[in-house]
């Protein structure tokens, strides 16, 4: 007897197949569904996209091959049940505002019919959390300034030249964490052996998660004042843009360490530069307001700033995780098992900077 497998349309750029898809991942996908569309290299028009979705139960979308998931597209794809997207802007390319009810991309009946998943952040959470930890350790040893002196032969052996900054070992330091999503939670796990005194600010994370992590929740100002090392790890939204402004930066104790490996515009760059120029803090920065960082940026010449070019997420051997985790979600769905990374209207609302209960 022939068993019909559900059709899954792949709208993935060629670079995705080259970099993220392994033979094992592809074989797993084929084990429970019929993937179609791999040969497509030209972007679909909306009409072509609707035609391609006929009889399709699942859709994986990454890159520019597929047009936006508008109301017209979704209501003309009657068999579609599951959409997987890779996009840390949560919901980009989905017409969430098209019709009633609010935050739904289509009618109430269709909204209940189609499920969305996004694995972008969970797929990269481990390498980013590890790089945050590395930045913390490097800042404690003033590596930015020490390295500069090593290069020009003016180093002082056995000294890190950071007596005026938070320094030494990480163990039992006071740490503030702004943002307790996937990356923040993984960082908390990594910090466990160091027995740090941790306070967390995240207005969206549930009390259940806080209890499971065993951390102390506090307001933003309290977390900033508490921190010898402050880690900012939030998504960029209308509410988080500039959330670390001059007022907040001035709440930091003198000599504190600031780590930002999330998004540059979360921190007020001119205010940060002024703080660094006065040698009031050390900063570990993997992200910037403008990327690439302008060659004449004052940040490049400041010895108390450790800079890397947005590499926190980059772990080549782990890139397969982006595709593999999406395949796992699709497999769970078709088996009728609970999903782990469903994209909900609440998440989309948070990314839009809206108030959510």
For the question of whether the overall pTM of this predicted structure is more than 0.85, the answer is: yes
For residue 94, the model assigns a pLDDT of 73
What string of pLDDT tens digits covers the 357 residues of the chain? 455 899 999 999 999 999 999 999 999 999 999 999 999 999 999 999 999 999 999 999 998 999 999 989 988 999 999 999 987 555 666 765 543 344 444 444 444 578 899 988 788 899 999 999 999 999 999 999 999 999 999 999 999 999 999 999 999 999 999 999 999 999 999 999 999 999 999 999 999 999 999 999 999 999 999 999 999 999 999 999 999 999 999 999 999 999 999 999 999 999 999 999 999 999 999 999 999 999 999 999 999 999 999 999 999 988 999 999 999 999 999 999 999 999 877 777 777 777 776
Within 13 Å and on the Cβ side, how many CA atoms surround 48?
10
Strands 58-62 and 34-36: unpaired
**What value does the CA radius of gyration of the chain take, rounded to a whole number of Å?**
23
For residue 103, the model assigns a pLDDT of 42
Q: Are 235 and 351 in contact (CB under 8 A)?
A: yes
Cα–Cα distance measured from residue 9 to residue 44, given in angstroms and rounded to the nearest whole number:
12
For residue 137, the model assigns a pLDDT of 98
For residue 292, is the peptide bond before it cis, meaning its omega torsion is within 30 degrees of 0? yes
Cα–Cα distance measured from residue 107 to residue 155, given in angstroms and rounded to the nearest whole number:
66
| Cross-strand partners of 283 | 258, 305
What are the Cα distances from residue 65, in Å, to 45, 73, 104?
Answer: 9, 14, 23
List the domains of the chain with CATH numbers.
7-119+318-351 (3.40.50.720), 124-307 (3.40.50.720)
Cα–Cα distance measured from residue 51 to residue 6, given in angstroms and rounded to the nearest whole number:
17
For residue 190, the model assigns a pLDDT of 98
DSSP secondary structure of 280-296? -EEEEES--SSSSPPTT
Percent of the chain that is helix, strand, coil (3-state, to 5): 40, 15, 45
Active centre residues (catalytic) = 263, 291, 310
For residue 347, the model assigns a pLDDT of 79
Q: Which residues have CB under 8 Å from 107's CB, separation 6+? A: 75, 99, 100
b (16+ CB within 10 A) / e for 255-294: bbbbbbbbbbbbbbbebbbebbeeebbbbbbbbbbeeebe
For residue 101, is the peptide bond before it cis, meaning its omega torsion is within 30 degrees of 0? yes
For residue 90, the model assigns a pLDDT of 57
């Amino acid at each position: 007897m022939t068993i019909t497998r559900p059709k899954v349309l792949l709208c993935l750029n060629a670079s995705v197949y080259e970099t993220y898809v392994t033979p094992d991942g592809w074989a797993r996908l084929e084990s429970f569904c019929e993937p179609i569309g791999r040969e497509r290299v030209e972007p679909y028009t909306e009409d072509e996209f609707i035609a391609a979705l006929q009889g399709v139960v699942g859709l994986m979308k990454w890159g520019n091959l597929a047009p936006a998931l508008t109301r017209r597209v979704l209501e003309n794809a009657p068999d579609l049940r599951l959409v997987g997207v890779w996009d840390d802007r949560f919901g980009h390319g989905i017409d969430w505002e098209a019709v009633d009810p609010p935050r739904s991309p289509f009618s109430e009946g269709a909204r209940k019919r189609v499920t969305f998943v996004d694995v972008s952040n969970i797929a990269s959470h481990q390498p980013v959390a590890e790089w945050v930890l590395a930045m913390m350790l490097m800042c404690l040893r003033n590596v930015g300034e020490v390295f500069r002196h090593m290069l020009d032969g003016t180093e002082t052996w056995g000294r890190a030249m950071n007596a005026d900054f938070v320094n030494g070992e990480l163990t039992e330091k006071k740490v503030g964490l702004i943002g307790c999503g996937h990356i923040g939670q993984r960082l908390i796990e990594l910090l466990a052996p160091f027995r740090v005194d941790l306070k967390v600010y995240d207005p969206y994370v549930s009390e259940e998660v806080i209890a499971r992590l065993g951390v102390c929740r506090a307001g933003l100002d309290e977390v900033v004042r508490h921190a010898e090392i402050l880690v900012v790890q939030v998504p960029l939204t209308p509410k988080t843009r500039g959330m670390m402004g001059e007022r907040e930066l001035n709440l930091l104790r003198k000599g504190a360490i600031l780590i930002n490996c999330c998004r540059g515009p979360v921190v007020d760059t001119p205010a940060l530069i002024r703080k660094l120029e006065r040698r009031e803090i050390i900063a570990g920065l993997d992200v910037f307001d403008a990327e690439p960082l302008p060659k004449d940026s004052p940040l490049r010449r400041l010895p108390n700033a450790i800079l890397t070019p947005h590499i926190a997420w980059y772990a080549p051997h782990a890139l397969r995780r982006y595709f593999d985790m999406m395949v796992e979600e699709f497999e769970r769905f078709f088996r009728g098992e609970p999903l782990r990374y469903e994209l909900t209207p609440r998440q989309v609302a948070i990314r839009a900077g809206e108030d959510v209960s």
